[in-house]
Amino acid sequence: MQIPWSIFLYLTIFHLIYIPPRLTVFAGDVKPRTVIVVDQSGHGHFSKLQHAIDSVPEHNYKWIEIQVRAGVYREKVEIPSNKPYISLVGDDRDTTVIQWWDGGGSATPEYATFSVYADNFVARHITFKNSFHPVTISQAPAASIFGDKVAFYDCGFIGVQDTLTDFLGRHLFDGCYIEGYIDFIWGYGQSIYHGCTINVTSGPYNDRIYGAGYITAQGRESIEDTNGFVFKYCKVVGNSYAYLGRPYQTYSRVVFYKNYLSDIVVPQGWNPAFIFGHRGSAAHEEVDCVGPGSDKSQRVKWGRNLNTDELNSLLNPNTFINQDHWIENQPPPTKRRALHKFLTSKTTTRSTTMPEFRQRRTPLSRSFPFVHPRRG
């Protein structure tokens, strides 16, 4: 049968202009397609976490989940910049621990137990610990974060000085436990700490000798820089007195919003150790905090007040760290599956109560010898 010329013409034109649909793979496909299991008992793909990370292809563009079974993994771990889209999932924050011991000089990131240089990284239910304890307090990070769009959920960070090196990039710490004494949350990061427990403890060191510690040391260098630290709905507790922070650079910016501040917070609140002569440029805000340490009647008078627009912009995740909605595009943890008959899933229930902290041996005086290790 002869095809009418009108239909023939239509089919010809359609064939010329029609572009058939093709499968488009977006960078960072949210659902992990690959699951790697790390298990010290030999029931996984690898027994060391670094070996699992090494197996991830360079310039990876799909989320890969690395499940870390319970255990203390004594190794230094690094995620290089050319291995993005890694999701690290532990069994439980209390039982899945990455631990190393290194520290000393001024180049603190190189001593970190765990380092992230890649963008698009997420970790859940893991504790990172640096147990380096020399005779005098030294810089010894548990984790150093250099990548952008990095999040930690229900993770632990344990150290003494520089515990969490929040160095560069936009970060979210949700429901985490952070322990330290000197500048133990420091860096140039642009980060929100939401619902975290911040425990000030001098560890094996005598806080009667070293004096009050410092929680933050934020390093915003210019009025144009977008970075800063925001603490929302956190608990500040411990067994050693501490300042909320000492600005590390001239335009340092730190906000404590609706936090519980226990009596370990010193009345002055803030210390200008690094910025004498430029104290008026640093911004440190305490908004609607509660607890015995929230009394601001004796707070220092120096520092810049944030205007309403700037404060609201910092408190809103979508304007401060989540402008491109990277948080929503992070993958949820994949349901664990057995590798073989010896590998079984483990269900754990985390306690929602605040962890018990070591009690003070003796009541501390509000007069402190202000002798502290300085940053390099």
Q: Which is catalytic among the residues 154, 162, 166, 207?
A: 162
Residue that has been written with the tokens 């349901």 in this structure: 335
Among 97, 85, 27, 30, CA closest to 56: 85
| Long-range CB contact pairs, 277-280, < 8 A, 24+ | 278/250, 279/247, 279/303, 280/304
Rounded-to-10 torsion of CA 338, 339, 342, 344: -20
Rounded Cα distance between 30 and 247, Å, is: 37
Among 172, 165, 160, 163, CA closest to 196: 172
Q: Which is catalytic among the residues 148, 166, 183, 207?
A: 183
Sheet of 190-194: strand order equals 29-38, 62-68, 86-90, 121-124, 150-153, 170-174, 190-194, 228-232, 253-257, 283-287
Rounded Cα distance between 331 and 338, Å, is: 20
CA 40 to chain centre: 25
Q: How many residues does the chain have?
A: 376
263 is catalytic: no
309 is catalytic: no
The identity of residue 129, as a single letter, is: K
Which residues carry out catalysis? 162, 183
